[in-house]
Structure 1
Amino acid sequence: MNNRFTSSSLTRGMFVATAFGLLMSTVGCGIGGGGADTAASTQVAAATPAWGNVHGGQQPVTGAAVTIYVAGVNTPGSGTGYGSGAVALASTTTDSSGAFNFPAGTYTCPTPTQQAYIVASGGNPGLTGVNSNITLMAALGPCPAGGNLIATVPYIDINEVTTVAAVWALQQFMAPPATGNVGAPQIGAPNTTYSNGLSGGNAMSVQSAVQGMNNAFVTAKVLADVSTGLSPNTAYNAYATPETAKINTLADILSYCVNSDPASSAHCQNLSNATTPAGQTTAVDTVQDAWYMAQNPINNLTTLYGYISGSGTPFQPYLGVPGGVSAAYFNDTTIAINYAPLGPNTLRGVANANDFALANASDVAIDMYGNPWFVNRAQVAAYNGDGLVYTTYVDTQSISELGVDGSVLVNQIASYTPSTTGGAIPLLTTPPAGGSRSFGAFPGDLAIDLTNRAWVTNTIDYAGSYNAKVGTTVVGVGSVGIFPGSTGAGTNAIGGNANLTNGTGYVTGAQPFGIAIDGSNNAFISTNATPASNVFEGLSFAKMSATDGSGYTVATGNAAGLPTNGQAFLDIDTNPSVTGGLVWAASPTACAVTGQLYSGTNSTTDYGLISQYSGSTAAALGGSEVATSLSNASTGAGTTGITGNCGATTDYVGQVASTSFANPYALAVDRNNGVWISDQFNATTKSGFDGLTYLSAATSSAGSIPSSYYIFNGVLPTSATASTPAVGVAGTTLTAPARLAVDGNNNVWVTNSGNSSVTEATINPSTGAITFLTPGQGTNPIISGTTKEFGNNTAGAYGVGFLHTLATPTGIAIDPSGNVWVANQSNNGSLAYTASNGSKPFTGYSTTMIVGAAAPVITPKALAVKYSKIGSKP
């Protein structure tokens, strides 16, 4: 998000709204909290057959100017191309019933498939005068070839709910409030094309920003039904559950202004004062108010909530007062959708079986067109057909793909057939026989290559044994599965591979875990098995061509910088000092130190290491291995293997950073080639803390970390014994932080697996100040590269991150629309929620998408790496 401000103190307590059925007729009710003007109820017949109506709440708005626009698709000039280029097609005015119509032939879409939206401005909401502050809108979607939108959108009810749906979904493509767009919101995207640079049948290109904008129109359709003016739109996607109560809450806040007369009240001025951040252009109409609320999710929440009028509020149910620690309270203005779709599944062996597409997903990655792929690590849940009960039939692991609207493109594929001629096989004296592989109990990481295929590491591979290059019989040879990508943005299961039943792949070293793909379509893989006589290429770091599996290069053992734990997540930067950039690896619990921090007598603490590799040679860079100064690591070789200082005797600790990380979980590279690392306290290994570490980028050569910073949460443990593990007190803004993703504004998003929330943070690279951009933030203990500070955070209470319907969230990814996709890895079968269609899926069978909350990015990540656009908008 572009701007964030610390929220005012939140009022503790809860207001329970009584739900009532809404009648979408022209008969309305008075609106507006805090003494809002009351609009008289009217019911007047439309003068002509209506295409739609404009409502303030349930109250008709007469005399409003209604205009059809198509969003801009434009070449960036001196600006960014975002929020510009929109074209007005036609205008009309609402009649005495609030109805409007566009006779045939009064408008023509300039280009079929351009995205259309409709805006109503001004008008009388049933009071004594015109309210020029009214601007309401609805996202209509692509223009048909004949230009007749009535054929595809037969009726439109423009109101505050459709306005919230449109603004939140499209916020990243809207122009900020300005005098020139009062009553005329501008939507557009730059048409820059990004090509994968490959030739022949592998050549692909995409206009990432335009694709993201088009997908955002689809999301608006999921949030609200423009034909009824209500959320959710179950007629479009029965398995999508948007946060309807929050959408209603935001719509109710807008109605405080919409259903008022500025000549006799200050409601619109009050709303603009509350929504406009300090130092910004003051909002003038209700779309500008909505945009500021979407972009600044913790700004003046208590004041805004005070504009809701209770039983007279038009859209119900709505959320409770700010301050409660759950998604049922108005603690921020972000909106999420949970997708728990059903689709045909072959895993049960039952004809026409409909099973959940997701089952405790651990990771998510976005393809070229904005479709998310998932790795599932748990049971396949089967739908019994009664809309309420789900039964577990199969205990297996799989991959699946959803469309941009949450529909099923690929439903739980559990097997694939590796190539018998590519990948690591040239290193084997006896190639493996052909045949299907199944994902083991722990599928690892996920990445999308430049040909839009999904790669998944199979950490526990049921492959059998082969003869290694030295002729000895070995076991545990692993493989990666590769699955064909989609040909476009999936909507209603169109654009994907709904009938995909298998994929291909390559045999690799033992227990492949981490995977990353660079801008030249090379795949980098870390393997996890401990080196032994019966393990082929254990603890290795390998590189191969993602296009055909050729050029397999492997560095094995400790020399590769994977000292004792190859379970390493990987990420790639675009460091200009190294051809091909750097590949970063985070190895948790890599070395044990007796008597160090968090440990007591006869007890050890395990510390992780961060390593760097050449993207061109796959070699570990000399002196690049980074350890924390808290580990008693010394520069140079270790002394007694994993029981001594960090690193084995053959391992080189190149740098000891004046920062803290002990149990690194994952990492993510940002725009400046700096690296964010998540760290979580682990009572079993007596290591870590709930915090984030940031390593500044190498500025002159690889293997150099000029500075480092970190921030921690909660209370750190100080001692432990062999019989009593160290126990820490979890943080709140960060609680067992897991995977990370960097958005187009260069902010980092983190999943909190410990308290089922999402946190956003940013760093000032010149000062090292790390700031949480989440609700309820307190004073953060910033720790520089030269100062270490531990203990309780007494400076202020932390917030809880963005709370939505989440359950042990782990994987996280940003798409080209700015949506934040979160994989819910919970295996708790009792955590069910009521979906919009009345069913009760377990949260672990869903993904949560936070709508438009992040800045858009180029996807897949490999394409962003190719153009050096990590942490930047398309």
Structure 2
Amino acid sequence: MRRFNFLFALQYAILGLCSLSTLFLAGCAGVTGTAVPSSLETSIPAGSVHGGQQPIQGAHVYLMAANTTGTYGSASTSLLHSGDPGTANDSIGTYVTTNSSGGFNYAGTATCPTPSTQVYLLAMGGNPTGLQGGPNNSASVLTAALGSCSTINSATFTSMNEVTTVAMAFALNQFMVDGTHVGAPASNVTGLKRAFATVANLVNSSTGAALAVTPGGNAVAPQATLNTLANIIAPCVNSGGSASSACSTLFSQTSTASGTPTTVLGAALNIAAFPGSQTAALYSDAAATAPFQPTLGAAPNDFSLGITYSPSIGVAQPSAVVIDASGNLWMANCQSCVTPTATDSIVEYGPDGTFLHSYSNAGIHNTKGLAIDAASSYLYSLNQAVAGSTHTLDQLTKMSLATGAVQSGFPVTFASGTYGTNTFNGIAVDNSGEIWATAAAAGAIVELNPGGNVINGGPYYIGGTYGVAVDNIGNIWFAGSGGNNLLQFDTNGDFLNNFTPAGLNQPQGIAINSSNEIWMPNVASNSLSKIEFFNGSNGSGSPYTSLGLFKPTVIAIDGTNQVVIPNCRVGCAGSGSTLPDSVLRLSQGGASNTGGSGSSAGAQNAGFSGVNGAAIDVSGNVWVTNSVTGKLTEIVSFAAPTIQPIAAASSAGTLGQLP
């Protein structure tokens, strides 16, 4: 989530030599004193600043570049040239001022350190009343994300308003403290760039309008939710200042343990960080004549923003989803789950949800597990037999991520007499590049080398094992769904421990955090267990029983040890639940930390329908498969940035750490 503790500790320092600037474009990656890479001069076009549909006069507009050499939320850099016609300077940097119609223009140029530098516009203060000599509203801080400097030219026009501000506050939540602090460390510039790109899937910066469909036409965007959020902050923007009742109410309702916001941007950032908090009260804040339409018809469970993607081919009953080092997403397409003789495939999406490929290769059928190796070279798929088809045995396939080609020696076929049929589910790649798979019905664990050969005397018959995960020091852990136990092996295939902590009740999924604590959801008791790796005992408060879970099977850990769980309720056939599907986000202590609680905890997105697999990318977006509709939903900046693929993090000992 946004607002890791270290971000709150940042001081809002004056940037001094790095003037923070106006208007809408370009980008400088760096802080004062940082060597500037090869630069690029670019012209800066015009734009406008409005509060709702009202022009804001006298606002200071700066062109800012996100920092890529500091930390998350480090100080941005101002880009406008001091002394150019129509400019002035203050403690932030060089700016231009909006006129009576809210318009601004800049006659000079700006220097972008690199073409790919991420830039944004920042508008501060101004008179929103339309009255000559009206008050300056210091609470009005509006933004618009522009993206890479090289994409901006003199024909670009930017309309800054509450919609553009909320879109940036959500998409950049993991990288943003306030209007003058947007940044990422050099190790995660990719995550920053992709977060900026997400803004373009939410709002048209030229018109300031929330999108109903993404520009590529491949996804449904959360237009009504985004407009509602914009309407919530609009009354404060259009008031006389921070002391107005509209602003006082907004700031009170978006206060967090770390403090109370003093600007509408700060309020929007807090809503994005805790989307389930004060939803009814915030919904009532929206102006009676809401300036942005269409809107939500009632107060939502939460204000999370979800973008739901549909590939150009039909997808059936997707389960697992994994992310490679390039940020591409890989998802199973189980056509044989509907028609046994149909052809299954693995679907590849780009980091922005664009459909790239569908690979129908030997051995891909009824895929239940996916894993990517640490080098992000190969995708392993664990495939169950399909009744009524030619696929009569479970198989393991190894596919090149670069070409989609099945590798020599694969698929590996698992004999039913040894492992059972329709039984393989869990898969992981360990620190030596070896593959571990579980056959639940047979109670078997099998270890294979990268060439597909069973090694170290396997299979091991331990009991009804299901999920598998590798920790930061190379141990391999298995969720014992049959014996309500937790099994530990070392990387050599030697059995180490069989733990039976109280409260385990058919655990299936498994994930491990930076402290090597093992998290497992319990299907039979709708609870969650956290187990200490050193002695197999329950962690504090474990098992957690009041989270509103319903037969949970999948779990993920983000870059700050938050726990993410798809919660398939009404969307899962035969569940008996009438509650909407959701995705939970929990603190390291096991408590919901989105602002909601119990059955209302987490995100309940309109695109959810049988939520199943989940993966977290380097921008903090959570990608969820929908088993009923076959679609893929991106919950914008719902978690912390996470190292991908998972095998790369476990191999480096960086599970639960930020990229």
SS of the residue 1:772 aligns to: coil
1:759 aligns with 584
Residues 211/515 of structure 1: CA separation in 2 closer, same or farther (3 Å cut): same
Q: Structure 2: how far apart are the matches of 1:253 and 1:705?
A: 48
Q: Structure 2: how far apart are the matches of 1:169 and 1:220?
A: 6
2:26 aligns with none
Residues 96/379 of structure 1: CA separation in 2 closer, same or farther (3 Å cut): farther
Instruction: Check if 1:405 corresponds to 2:352.
Output: yes
Residues 379/223 of structure 1: CA separation in 2 closer, same or farther (3 Å cut): farther
SS of the residue 1:217 aligns to: helix
Compare 165-174 and 117-126 and name the one that shifted more: 117-126
Identity of aligned residues (%): 32
Mapped contact 2:75–2:180 kept (Cα < 8 A): no
| 293, 296, 320: which one aligns with 1:363 | 320
Q: Structure 2: how far apart are the matches of 1:849 and 1:613?
A: 34
| 730, 742, 745: which one aligns with 2:560 | 745
Shift of 1:692: 0.9
Shift of 1:268: 2.0
| 422, 425, 430: which one aligns with 1:518 | 430
Q: Structure 1: how far apart are the matches of 2:592 and 2:242?
A: 41
SS of the residue 1:362 aligns to: coil
Instruction: Check if 1:300 corresponds to 2:136.
Output: no
Q: Which amino acid aligns with 1:366?
A: I
Shift of 1:270: 2.6
Shift of 1:87: 1.2
| 74, 77, 83: which one aligns with 2:73 | 83
| 250, 253, 261: which one aligns with 1:274 | 253
Mapped contact 2:202–2:214 kept (Cα < 8 A): no
Q: Structure 2: how far apart are the matches of 1:337 and 1:291?
A: 19
| 497, 517, 526: which one aligns with 1:690 | 526
Residues 395/477 of structure 1: CA separation in 2 closer, same or farther (3 Å cut): closer
Matches within 5 A, 1:245-264: 245-262=224-241
1:414 aligns with 360
TM-score, normalising length from structure 1?
A: 0.62
Q: Structure 1: how far apart are the matches of 2:489 and 2:532?
A: 16
Matches within 5 A, 1:668-683: 668-680=511-523
1:217 aligns with 196
Shift of 1:673: 0.8
Residues 149/393 of structure 1: CA separation in 2 closer, same or farther (3 Å cut): farther
Residues 51/760 of structure 1: CA separation in 2 closer, same or farther (3 Å cut): same
SS of the residue 2:353 aligns to: coil
Per-residue Cα deviation, 1:282-337 (whole angstroms, up to 9, x for no partner): 32221111111111223332332221123x11112222444xxxxxx2x2222111
Q: Which amino acid aligns with 1:282?
A: T
Q: Which amino acid aligns with 2:262?
A: V
Q: Which amino acid aligns with 2:56?
A: V
Residues 297/69 of structure 1: CA separation in 2 closer, same or farther (3 Å cut): same
Mapped contact 2:609–2:626 kept (Cα < 8 A): yes
Shift of 1:213: 0.9
- Structure 2's unaligned 5+ residue stretches are 5-43, 81-94, 416-420, 571-580
| 603, 609, 616: which one aligns with 1:807 | 609
Instruction: Check if 1:570 corresponds to 2:468.
Output: yes
SS of the residue 1:710 aligns to: coil
Mapped contact 1:509–1:527 kept (Cα < 8 A): no
2:498 aligns with 625
Q: Structure 2: how far apart are the matches of 1:407 and 1:394?
A: 28
Per-residue Cα deviation, 1:428-448 (whole angstroms, up to 9, x for no partner): xxxxxxxxx2423x2121111
- Structure 1's unaligned 5+ residue stretches are 5-48, 76-80, 178-183, 193-208, 323-328, 343-354, 382-391, 416-436, 466-474, 486-496, 531-537, 576-580, 591-606, 628-656, 681-687, 699-703, 715-731, 765-769, 779-797, 827-843
Mapped contact 1:585–1:611 kept (Cα < 8 A): yes
Larger radius of gyration: 1
1:710 aligns with 542
Mapped contact 1:519–1:866 kept (Cα < 8 A): yes
Q: Structure 2: how far apart are the matches of 1:394 and 1:227?
A: 49
Q: Structure 2: how far apart are the matches of 1:483 and 1:313?
A: 51
Per-residue Cα deviation, 1:26-61 (whole angstroms, up to 9, x for no partner): xxxxxxxxxxxxxxxxxxxxxxx9622111111221
Instruction: Check if 1:99 corresponds to 2:109.
Output: no
Instruction: Check if 1:553 corresponds to 2:531.
Output: no
SS of the residue 1:269 aligns to: helix
Q: Structure 2: how far apart are the matches of 1:123 and 1:503?
A: 62
Shift of 1:3: 6.9
Q: Which amino acid aligns with 2:455?
A: T
Q: Structure 2: how far apart are the matches of 1:540 and 1:554?
A: 11
SS of the residue 1:525 aligns to: strand
Q: Structure 1: how far apart are the matches of 2:369 and 2:259?
A: 44
Q: Which amino acid aligns with 1:760?
A: R
Shift of 1:141: 0.8
Q: Structure 1: how far apart are the matches of 2:121 and 2:337?
A: 42
Per-residue Cα deviation, 1:554-581 (whole angstroms, up to 9, x for no partner): 4435xx2532x35x22101024xxxxx2
1:164 aligns with 166
SS of the residue 2:197 aligns to: helix
Per-residue Cα deviation, 1:229-276 (whole angstroms, up to 9, x for no partner): 112164622122122111111111110111111288332233222212
TM-score, normalising length from structure 2?
A: 0.82
Residues 266/754 of structure 1: CA separation in 2 closer, same or farther (3 Å cut): closer
Q: Which amino acid aligns with 1:60?
A: P
Per-residue Cα deviation, 1:831-867 (whole angstroms, up to 9, x for no partner): xxxxxxxxxxxxx221111100101111111111122
Per-residue Cα deviation, 1:397-452 (whole angstroms, up to 9, x for no partner): 22111112111122x3221xxxxxxxxxxxxxxxxxxxxx2423x21211111232
Mapped contact 2:274–2:594 kept (Cα < 8 A): no
Q: Which amino acid aligns with 1:872?
A: Q
Q: Which amino acid aligns with 1:553?
A: I
Q: Which amino acid aligns with 2:231?
A: D
2:643 aligns with 858
Instruction: Check if 1:113 corresponds to 2:113.
Output: no
